Amino acid sequence: MLKVILFLLAGAAIVFVAWQLAGIPGHVVASIGALTIETSTPVAILVLVTLFGVTIILLRILRAVLGLPKTGAGWRRRRRRILGERIVTRVLVALAAGEKGEARKQARRARNLLGDSPQTLLLAAEAGRLSGREDEAEEAFRALAKQTEARFLGLRGLLRQAVDRRDWSEALVLAKQAEAAHPGTTWLRQQRADLALQTENWAEALELIGLDPRRTTYYVAAADGESDPRRALSFAKQAWQQDPGFAPAVLAYTSRLRAIGHEKRAQSCIADAWQRAPHPDLASFALALEPDKLARAQAAKRLVARNPTHVESRILLAQVALDAGLTGEARHQIEAAQTEGLHQRRFCLLLAEIEEQERGHTEAGRLAQRDALRRAATAEPDPRWQCTNCHTAHAAWHPRCRACAAIGTILWSDALRPSSVPVIAS
Ligand SMILES: [Zn+2]
């Protein structure tokens, strides 16, 4: 409605102006050489207005003709961009579908059409990785890393490649550069933590890793790898606090306590650990400073007092009794263990030793020894350190499995068996 009103008003204005022009009196005479043009004033004004309009139109046409090459270039650029965007979509689809050849081909086309933008470089790199062309991917990632805005993307790609080929020194350099380019990312923190573990920089790994069930392992390893005794003691203490029943953690702590003269505290921690999870290495440590065999037997009894029927308690008491020549006590412990259903190989071997000590010079003694050794061949295996990842047995505990390189996977094979008495937290 408003448009109609405006149209009518404009029409009325034009009619009014035309009316006014038509009412202007007089004549206009123009002489050009021999040519003389004479007309009324309104017609002359109309001609002038018309000539003005025609001139403007002609100028516009001229400008359009002169700007034609530039317009053509712009049109071609727009066309390349539109086509390039379509090709980018095709690359994304090919990458998502896992079509290696198609992704690589379309990524090249996108790069030709759109140039080396962060988007096309990243797609070219990912297509290269998908196709197994790590050289192409690396070239694209390096080009990305040179671009200020996309530097992190390039470094991230190069870091992933370095990790894949297990080039830890290169990966460490790239991780530091990526951290500088874009600090504080969770992904990068995890990557740096993994690198610290791979390069066995346990202290740095502990700083970077959050909650992790293997922290006890890292603390023990950090303590063993630390040259400063105070820092080593601190790491060892944290290992023990994390898991006061894990023998390597307990021994890492108690050995350092012993080194600084805190023997009573060390023995207390060992006794506590024995109650939680008895282990032969704990007993070796606890009795190491006692050379007298009878005194060792007494010390062993005190050590196992809060967990006397555990298999490790039985075997320890039998061993120290046998060493002290107390074959009756040793035999009692072994028979008690067998009554409790414990039939490990080491019990049979100890029994053979007892037979040898007691009546090894008699025919009955030799027969009893042979019988014990025969039973050892078919008895249950003794507990041992074993990798839960590759099942390789190890003579001693290590933070990393020497066979499969897994970290924190070596456990005492008897560890899952419940202790004989409930653990009371102290
Ligand atoms: Zn392993």
Q: What is residue 247's predicted lDDT score, i.e. its pLDDT? A: 97
Separation of first and last alpha carbons in the chain: 91
Q: How close is the Cα of 407 to the center of ligand 1, in Å?
A: 8
Nearest Cα neighbor of 244 from 203, 213, 206, 275 is: 275
CA distance 330 to 337: 11
Q: What is residue 362's predicted lDDT score, i.e. its pLDDT? A: 84
Q: Which residue's entry shows tokens 């039973």?
A: 375
CA distance 242 to 55: 92
Read off the pLDDT of residues 147-164 as tens digits, 9 standing for 90 and up.
988 999 999 999 999 999
Q: What is residue 47's predicted lDDT score, i.e. its pLDDT? A: 80
Q: What is the mean pLDDT of residues 361-383?
A: 85
Q: Is the pLDDT confidence value at 297 over 50?
A: yes
Q: What is residue 404's predicted lDDT score, i.e. its pLDDT? A: 94
CA distance 68 to 79: 16
Residue 218 DSSP SS3: helix
Q: How close is the Cα of 399 to the center of ligand 1, in Å?
A: 11
Rounded-to-10 torsion of CA 392, 284, 278, 352: 80
Q: Is the pLDDT confidence value at 238 over 50?
A: yes
CA distance 127 to 121: 10
Q: How close is the Cα of 248 to the center of ligand 1, in Å?
A: 17
Q: How close is the Cα of 348 to the center of ligand 1, in Å?
A: 29
Q: Which residue has the higher pLDDT, 376 or 139?
A: 139
Give the distance, in angstroms, between the CA of residue 181 and the centroid of all CA atoms in the same chain: 19
Q: What is residue 135's predicted lDDT score, i.e. its pLDDT? A: 93
Q: How close is the Cα of 195 to the center of ligand 1, in Å?
A: 19
Q: How close is the Cα of 225 to the center of ligand 1, in Å?
A: 21
Q: How close is the Cα of 285 to the center of ligand 1, in Å?
A: 27
Highest mean predicted confidence (pLDDT) among 202-211, 249-258, 378-387: 249-258
Ligand 1 (ion): residues with CB under 5 Å are 387, 389-390, 401, 403-404, 406
Q: How close is the Cα of 392 to the center of ligand 1, in Å?
A: 6
Token digits for 161?
């490649």
Q: What is residue 422's predicted lDDT score, i.e. its pLDDT? A: 35
Q: What is the mean pLDDT of residues 78-106?
A: 92
Q: How close is the Cα of 410 to the center of ligand 1, in Å?
A: 7
* Strands of 46-191, DSSP E: none
Q: Is the pLDDT confidence value at 365 over 50?
A: yes
Residue 165 DSSP SS3: coil
Q: How close is the Cα of 406 to the center of ligand 1, in Å?
A: 6
Q: Is the pLDDT confidence value at 415 over 60?
A: no
Q: How close is the Cα of 28 to the center of ligand 1, in Å?
A: 111
Residues 6 or more apart from 306 whose CB is under 8 A from it?
Answer: 271, 274, 275, 421
CA triple 310-284-356, angle to 5 deg = 75
Phi-psi region of 96 (alpha: psi -120 to 50; beta: other; left: phi over 0): alpha
Highest mean predicted confidence (pLDDT) among 10-14, 27-31, 46-50, 227-231: 227-231
Q: How close is the Cα of 391 to the center of ligand 1, in Å?
A: 6
Q: How close is the Cα of 393 to the center of ligand 1, in Å?
A: 9
Q: What is the mean pLDDT of residues 382-386?
A: 92
Q: Is the pLDDT confidence value at 406 over 80?
A: yes
What average pLDDT is seen over the chain? 88
Q: What is residue 48's predicted lDDT score, i.e. its pLDDT? A: 83
Q: How close is the Cα of 284 to the center of ligand 1, in Å?
A: 26
Read off the pLDDT of residues 101-151 as tens digits, 9 standing for 90 and up.
999 999 999 999 999 999 999 999 999 999 999 999 999 999 999 998 899
Nearest Cα neighbor of 389 from 377, 403, 375, 399 is: 403
Q: What is residue 425's predicted lDDT score, i.e. its pLDDT? A: 33
Q: How close is the Cα of 159 to the center of ligand 1, in Å?
A: 26
Give the distance, in angstroms, between the CA of residue 339 and the centroid of all CA atoms in the same chain: 50
CA distance 76 to 371: 96
Residues 6 or more apart from 241 whose CB is under 8 A from it?
Answer: none
For residue 39, what pLDDT band results from cuts at 50, 70 and 90?
confident
- Looking at 65-74, 79-88, 182-191, 216-225, which range is the least confident one? 65-74
φ/ψ (deg, to 5) at 167:
-95, 85
Q: How close is the Cα of 405 to the center of ligand 1, in Å?
A: 6
Q: How close is the Cα of 413 to the center of ligand 1, in Å?
A: 13
CA distance 109 to 251: 63
Tell me the HSE value of 55 on the side-chain side, using a 13 A CA sphere: 6
CA distance 274 to 277: 5
Q: How close is the Cα of 408 to the center of ligand 1, in Å?
A: 9
Q: How close is the Cα of 400 to the center of ligand 1, in Å?
A: 8
Q: What is residue 43's predicted lDDT score, i.e. its pLDDT? A: 79
Q: What is residue 319's predicted lDDT score, i.e. its pLDDT? A: 94
Q: Is the pLDDT confidence value at 61 over 90?
A: no
CA distance 64 to 1: 37
Q: How close is the Cα of 412 to the center of ligand 1, in Å?
A: 13
Q: How close is the Cα of 237 to the center of ligand 1, in Å?
A: 26
Q: How close is the Cα of 235 to the center of ligand 1, in Å?
A: 24
Token digits for 91?
């690359």
Nearest Cα neighbor of 247 from 312, 168, 190 is: 312
Q: How close is the Cα of 201 to the center of ligand 1, in Å?
A: 20
Nearest Cα neighbor of 325 from 348, 303, 292, 362 is: 292
Q: What is the mean pLDDT of residues 216-228?
A: 95
- Give, in order, the Cα–Cα distances in Å from 384 to each of 208, 376, 397: 32, 16, 9
Q: How close is the Cα of 244 to the center of ligand 1, in Å?
A: 24
Q: How close is the Cα of 387 to the center of ligand 1, in Å?
A: 5
Q: What is residue 271's predicted lDDT score, i.e. its pLDDT? A: 96
CA distance 236 to 223: 5
CA distance 241 to 420: 23
DSSP state of 226: -
CA triple 253-256-257, angle to 5 deg = 85
CA 297, 300, 304, 306 dihedral sign is positive
Q: How close is the Cα of 228 to the center of ligand 1, in Å?
A: 30
Q: Is the pLDDT confidence value at 93 over 50?
A: yes
CA distance 13 to 16: 5
Prediction pTM value: 0.68
Q: What is the mean pLDDT of residues 333-355?
A: 88
